[in-house]
Amino acid sequence: MGESRSLTINGRSHSVSPEDPETPLLYVLRNEFGLHGPRFGCGLGQCGACTVHIDGQAVRSCVIPLSSLKPDAKIVTLEGLGTPEAPHPVQAAFVEEQAAQCGYCINGMIMTSAAFLKDKQKPSEAEIRQALAGNLCRCGTHARIVRAVQRAAASL
Amino acid sequence: MPATQFSRRSLLQGGAIVVGFSLSRALPVAAASGTAPSKPVALDQVDSYLSLERDGSAIVYSGKVDLGTGVRTALTQMAADELDLPLARVRVIQGDTALTPDQGPTYGSLSIQNGGTQIRAAAATARRQLLQLASERLGTPTDTLATRDGRVIPAAGGEGIAYADLLKDGHFSLKLDKDAPSKNPDAFSFVGKPVARLDIPAKIYASFTYMQDVTLPGMLHGRVIRPPAIEARLTSVDEASVAGIPGLVKVVREGDFLGVVTTSEWAAIKAAEKLSATWSKAETLPEQSQLWEHVRATPVVKEDITSNVGDADGAMANAARKLKATYDFAIHTHGSIGPSCAVAQPEGDALTVWTASQMTHALRTQLSAMFSLPPEKVRCIYVEGSGCYGRNGHEDAAGDAAILARAVGKPVRVQWSRADEHGWDPKGPPTLIDLAAGLDDKGAVTAWSSQFHIPMGAAGSVPLVAATLAGLPHETALAPGNIVHNSAIPYGFPNVKTVCRRLATTPLRPSWIRTPGRMQNTFANEAFVDECAAAAGIDPLEYRLRSMNDPRGIEVLKRLATLAKWESRPSPKGDGREAGGGVQTGRGLSYVKYELYRTYVAALAEVEVERSSGMIRAKRVFVVQDCGQIINPDGVRNQIEGNVIQTVSRVLKEEVMFDRSRVTSTDWASYPILTFPEVPEIVMELIDRPREKPWGAGEPSAAVIPAAISNAVYDAIGLRLRSVPFTPEKVKTALQRT
């Protein structure tokens, strides 16, 4: 095993010892911590399915080597964003709008939108579309996703 | 109930909970032995589809699976209504070869139409039998009894008898009667209502277990290394090149199949990247720039005449005016956001595979042939993966996982890379279509003649990549799907001949992509009808209606006209010259009667064309659909929205790129799809016919989108686009020619 590193994930401190410090965060989250919210889509940072928050910013965990993380980085995954009992407004809005088909990309849609809405109050539809321009969905759920983000924005 | 019965049933339930509800991250191995538990799966038995549990719930066993379309919810609605159970007490187990009947692959928009109808019939047969059994038990005629909330209850009052208590050993042991009386649609509690999808909360709160999330105790990770050229042979592998990678378990080579097995996923990725191998050169693909010449020159194996009315050739010769055009539709990929993934577990001479396959039963047949195992030694268990729009890479990943797992004698998870998916999923084949029409002096079509140059073969099983590379038994026939559908047309022209020229080969391994053939064929037919209307100077809606006599088809078109505020006039809109600001707008419509016997859809696209850049923007799409009885209107809307957006993407942007050796568009940069700012507004109207058959909704609306856009572009700029995708370059080239 490699050198031990500390990580703060969803508000809890953990220590990991990856064999390769260049292991992208995505695989650590999924395979070491069983956090399956972030998903593998391309490994290239192109699709957004792996999005997590680091210090409040939406980032693509498939291209973030563990070695690049600051020791005090605060990582939040979809699991840490909210729960059915205490949902994040974006999650509640996605359920309300039935904004998923296969749902594989939805982690990225929710995590990107949640970070976007933190900085942007009352966004226009065009601004929402632009904020999600780098997130790919193949089922064609875009219209519902935009409606869900509008609904969440109105509730914030 | 004897104790042995309990233990057998609890084994079934164990598998049921894991597969149907995905409550557990780690799948209990005991519940998924390659040796199948004994449960009826014959298509003609009620017990194959349905089990009434002592806790008052019902389990539905469905051979059709939810590919992210909401089918599980819809099947739950249908079964719950027929059985008079609350939704929460109906569970659906999908696509487990040990547990579910083989209802055929989940394709062709048939999950509700065929699969749901079978389950509904099983439930109706069961309900009738429960009433009969209660009648005998209570000594009162069946017409004095009712079913409610999982019990048979005397209409006069009393607590009645729970369903499970009416069955001697938990079984019906009864043949399914497809004519068993289904409930009166007026009495449905769930069917026809926009019931919320059962899977969505778990997907939003990250508790859903996708195929990509399945783990087994002791599971290893695998990746495959595909040849750098299609049909290249593996000449040598330098295992020393990966010796230093911690966690490497084995380099697996079998013929031209090459893979690595490691203890961690990242180690597998690195090992697959670093493994040094030499391959022979191979250049088996045509020059992409010569693709259509290549297709035209491909030997024709046979001609399928899909319609032949009157004397098309004779009428063409005598026509006052003749039109000819050639249409083509590029090679496309499925493009699931999550690359294919599977987990295989060998156990002695048995094999269990967890897979997102749309056809677990057919996959079992393929795997048993591949490894020369009796089919009963292979179990394929469906776990929902990333969206599936036809036969993509899921089955191939299962073949990969099986080879690797058998090589190391341990469970192995194979995750395809993005390049594996884009490069090696089977493709929607190139489609080339020649059309000719003869018009009389009033512009009416007197002769219609078309030739579709499309690969031979139908559905069936697409050869597994692993079996092909490893030289293990596999199919050799092409399986592009039933791509002849909708080559014939829904118009009553007096002389029509439509012919599919079936080609011996096609450049890349073909399969069915969503709306296979129907999408490409309808593109050509509906755009060419528009060409005829324009040549006749007649409003394209009016032009279609004149040749239709199907009232349901006429109704969708008329409703579309109202919904979209159709302005009656011929296309193009103006003289084709720039209107100002360099942007011109247009509208185009398109119509399909799916496979000429079911779901009716009409669509209208409104587009903007920017002359300077050649960019087309789909601004708004209107859709009217009649798919008979609607099970879940919000589910149908979701499918239509998906079809519109996915197909706008296909039409405006998508094309698989290749060189003489391989696919070169192996990521989202080289194979771009539609992004949020480019997505059109969608307006739709559904026609519900609760007393008609429930027809498919997953595919038909994709068929009308390409021609609607082509027709709208023609309306805007007076230029006809006949080659998908409609890239800015093609538009600019067309504009320069004028």
Residue B247 in contact with residue B221, Cβ under 8 Å?
A: no
pLDDT for residue B222 is more than 60:
yes
Q: pLDDT for B346-359, tens place per residue?
A: 999 999 999 999 99
User: What does the pLDDT read at residue B37?
Assistant: 58
Residue among B246, B638, B646 minimizing CB distance to A138: B646
- From B26-30, B275-279, B676-680, the region with the lowest mean pLDDT: B26-30
- Between the alpha carbon of residue A98 and those of residues A148, B18, B208, B458, B624, the distances in Å are 8, 24, 15, 35, 21
HSE value, Cβ hemisphere, 13 Å, CA-based, for B101: 23
DSSP run (H or E) holding B15: helix B3-16
Kindly give, in sequence order, each residue whose CB lies less than 8 Å from that of residue B243, ignoring residues fewer than 6 positions away. none
- Cα B506 to Cα B198: distance, rounded to the nearest angstrom: 41
The domain total for chain B is: 3
**Chain B residue with Cα closest to A41:** B338
User: What does the pLDDT read at residue B457?
Assistant: 96
Whether the CB of B522 is below 8 Å from some CB of chain A: the reply is no
Chain B, window 201-230: residues with a beta carbon less than 8 angstroms from a chain A beta carbon = 201, 203-206, 208-210, 212-213
Distance from the Cα of B588 to chain A's closest Cα (Å) equals 21
CA angle B163, B165, B171 (to 5 degrees): 75
Q: Do A103 and B642 touch (CB under 8 A)?
A: no
Whether the CB of A139 is below 8 Å from some CB of chain B: the reply is yes
Could you tell me if B19 and B127 lie in one domain?
yes
Could you tell me if B191 and B238 lie in one domain?
no
Sheet (strand B723-724) strand order: B300-309, B496-503, B445-455, B431-439, B321-329, B723-724
Burial class (CB in 10 A: 0-12, 13-18, 19+), B42: exposed
Could you tell me if B554 and B520 lie in one domain?
yes
Q: Write out the two tokens for B150.
A: 């999982």
Whether the CB of A10 is below 8 Å from some CB of chain B: the reply is no
Q: Do B642 and A141 touch (CB under 8 A)?
A: yes
pLDDT for residue B56 is more than 70:
yes
Give the rounded percent of residues in chain B with a pLDDT score beyond 90. Answer: 92
User: What does the pLDDT read at residue B17?
Assistant: 30
List % helix, strand, coil for chain B (3-state, nearest 5). 35, 25, 40
Q: Do A36 and B68 touch (CB under 8 A)?
A: no
Residue among B389, B417, B645 minimizing CB distance to A43: B417
Whether the CB of A44 is below 8 Å from some CB of chain B: the reply is yes
Q: Which of B401, B424, B447 is the last residue of a domain?
A: B424
SS3 B309: strand
Nearest to A96 by CA among A33, A55, A136, A152: A152
- Cα B394 to Cα A53: distance, rounded to the nearest angstrom: 30
Q: Do B200 and A138 touch (CB under 8 A)?
A: no
In the beta sheet, which residues pair with residue B175?
B45
Chain B, window 311-370: residues with a beta carbon less than 8 angstroms from a chain A beta carbon = 335-339
Residues of A in contact with B417 (CB under 8 A): 43
Could you tell me if B389 and B530 lie in one domain?
no
Q: Which ipTM score applies to this complex?
A: 0.98
Residue range A82-103: mean pLDDT, rounded: 98
Q: Do B68 and A104 touch (CB under 8 A)?
A: yes
Tell me whether residue B578 is in a domain.
Answer: yes
Whether the CB of B644 is below 8 Å from some CB of chain A: the reply is yes
Q: Write out the two tokens for B623.
A: 């859709």
Q: Following CA atoms B518, B519, B524, B528 in sequence, which dihedral angle do they give, to the nearest 10 degrees?
A: 90
User: What does the pLDDT read at residue B426?
Assistant: 98
Residues of A in contact with B389 (CB under 8 A): 138
pLDDT for residue B3 is more than 70:
no
SS3 B445: strand
pLDDT for residue A149 is more than 60:
yes
Could you tell me if B100 and B247 lie in one domain?
no
Whether the CB of A59 is below 8 Å from some CB of chain B: the reply is no
Whether the CB of A84 is below 8 Å from some CB of chain B: the reply is yes
Give the domain CATH number at B186.
3.30.365.10
User: What does the pLDDT read at residue B576?
Assistant: 52
User: What does the pLDDT read at residue B574?
Assistant: 80
Q: In B425-550, where does DSSP find H-type helix?
A: 465-470, 518-536, 540-545
Residue B484 in contact with residue B454, Cβ under 8 Å?
A: yes
List % helix, strand, coil for chain A (3-state, nearest 5). 40, 15, 45
Q: pLDDT for B422-431, tens place per residue?
A: 999 999 999 9
User: What does the pLDDT read at residue B578?
Assistant: 59
Could you tell me if B632 and B692 lie in one domain?
yes
The phi, psi pair for B455, rounded to 5°, reads -60, 155
Residue range B5-13: mean pLDDT, rounded: 34
Residue range A20-42: mean pLDDT, rounded: 97
Tell me whether residue B298 is in a domain.
Answer: no
- C-beta contacts of A47-50 below 8 A and 24+ residues apart: A47/A105, A47/A108, A47/A135, A47/A136, A47/B337, A47/B668, A48/A105, A48/A108, A48/A109, A48/A112, A48/A134, A48/A135, A48/A136, A49/A104, A49/A105, A49/A107, A49/A108, A49/A136, A49/B337, A49/B338, A50/A26, A50/A107, A50/A108
Q: Which of B409, B424, B439 is the last residue of a domain?
A: B424
Q: Do B204 and A94 touch (CB under 8 A)?
A: yes
Nearest to B479 by CA among B498, B500, B464, B501: B464
Q: pLDDT for A100-118, tens place per residue?
A: 999 999 999 999 999 999 9
Q: In B609-689, where does DSSP find H-type helix?
A: 633-653
User: What does the pLDDT read at residue A1?
Assistant: 62
Residue among A44, A104, A145 minimizing CB distance to B386: A104
Could you tell me if B548 and B668 lie in one domain?
yes
Q: Which of B198, B227, B253 is the last residue of a domain?
A: B198
Q: In B287-355, where does DSSP find H-type helix?
A: 291-297, 312-317
Q: Do A133 and B676 touch (CB under 8 A)?
A: yes
Residue range B379-393: mean pLDDT, rounded: 97
Q: What is the pTM of this model?
A: 0.95
Tell me whether residue B457 is in a domain.
Answer: no
Mean pLDDT of chain B: 94
Tell me whether residue B189 is in a domain.
Answer: yes
Residue type, B376: E
Q: In B298-389, where does DSSP find H-type helix?
A: 312-317, 360-370
SS3 A6: strand
Whether the CB of A46 is below 8 Å from some CB of chain B: the reply is yes
pLDDT band of B715, cuts 50, 70, 90:
very high
Could you tell me if B131 and B267 lie in one domain?
no
User: What does the pLDDT read at residue B130?
Assistant: 98
Chain B, window 240-279: residues with a beta carbon less than 8 angstroms from a chain A beta carbon = 246-247, 264-267, 269-270
Distance from the Cα of B612 to chain A's closest Cα (Å) equals 23
Could you tell me if B240 and B276 lie in one domain?
yes
Chain A, window 111-130: residues with a beta carbon less than 8 angstroms from a chain B beta carbon = 126, 128-130
Q: Write out the two tokens for B363.
A: 């996959």
pLDDT for residue B16 is more than 60:
no
- Asked whether the bond before B725 is cis by omega within 30 degrees of 0, the reply is yes
User: What does the pLDDT read at residue B580?
Assistant: 64
Kindly give, in sequence order, each residue whose CB lies less than 8 Å from that of residue B665, ignoring residues fewer than 6 positions away. B333, B422, B655, B656, B657, B658, B671
Question: What angle, rounded to 10 degrees, do the helices at A106-119 and A89-96 form?
Answer: 130
Q: Do B677 and A129 touch (CB under 8 A)?
A: yes
Kindly give, in sequence order, each residue whose CB lies less than 8 Å from that of residue B484, ignoring residues fewer than 6 positions away. B304, B306, B452, B454, B500, B517
User: What does the pLDDT read at residue B339?
Assistant: 98
Pick from B214, B676, B683, B701 the residue to mutate for testing the A interface (most A CBs within 10 Å).
Answer: B676
User: What does the pLDDT read at residue B38?
Assistant: 75
Pick from B22, B67, B199, B205 the residue to mutate for testing the A interface (most A CBs within 10 Å).
Answer: B205
Tell me whether residue B581 is in a domain.
Answer: yes
Mean pLDDT of chain A: 96
Q: Which residue has the tokens 């996923």?
A: B265
**Chain A residue with Cα closest to B210:** A104
Whether the CB of B702 is below 8 Å from some CB of chain A: the reply is no
Other Cβ atoms less than 10 A from the Cβ of A155: the count is 12
DSSP B101: -
Residues of A in contact with B388 (CB under 8 A): 102
Q: pLDDT for B269-327, tens place per residue?
A: 999 999 999 999 999 999 999 999 999 999 999 999 999 999 999 999 999 999 999 99
Could you tell me if B174 and B55 lie in one domain?
yes
Tell me whether residue B482 is in a domain.
Answer: no
- Cα B94 to Cα B6: distance, rounded to the nearest angstrom: 22
User: What does the pLDDT read at residue A51?
Assistant: 98
pLDDT band of B30, cuts 50, 70, 90:
very low
Q: Which residue has the tokens 């042979």?
A: B233
Selected residue with higher pLDDT from B673 and B17: B673
Whether the CB of A67 is below 8 Å from some CB of chain B: the reply is no
Domain extent, residue B398, equals 212-281+334-424
pLDDT for residue B378 is more than 70:
yes
- Cα B611 to Cα B613: distance, rounded to the nearest angstrom: 6
Tell me whether residue B303 is in a domain.
Answer: no
User: What does the pLDDT read at residue B577?
Assistant: 57
Kindly give, in sequence order, each residue whose CB lies less than 8 Å from that of residue B10, ignoring residues fewer than 6 positions away. none
Tell me whether residue B291 is in a domain.
Answer: no
Residue among A39, A105, A143 minimizing CB distance to B641: A143
Residues of B in contact with A132 (CB under 8 A): 676
Q: In B409-517, where does DSSP find H-type helix?
A: 418-424, 465-470
Whether the CB of B628 is below 8 Å from some CB of chain A: the reply is no
Q: Do B682 and A83 touch (CB under 8 A)?
A: no
Residues of B in contact with A103 (CB under 8 A): 68, 199-200, 203-204, 208
User: What does the pLDDT read at residue A3?
Assistant: 81
pLDDT for residue B35 is more than 50:
no
DSSP B303: E
Residue B478 in contact with residue B455, Cβ under 8 Å?
A: yes
Distance from the Cα of A72 to chain B's closest Cα (Å) equals 24
Pick from A52, A112, A142 the residue to mutate for testing the B interface (most B CBs within 10 Å).
Answer: A142
Residue range B572-587: mean pLDDT, rounded: 78
Could you tell me if B87 and B192 lie in one domain?
yes
User: What does the pLDDT read at residue A41?
Assistant: 98
Could you tell me if B123 and B229 lie in one domain?
no
**Chain A residue with Cα closest to B636:** A101
* Domains defined along chain A, listed by start: 5-80 (3.10.20.30), 82-155 (1.10.150.120)
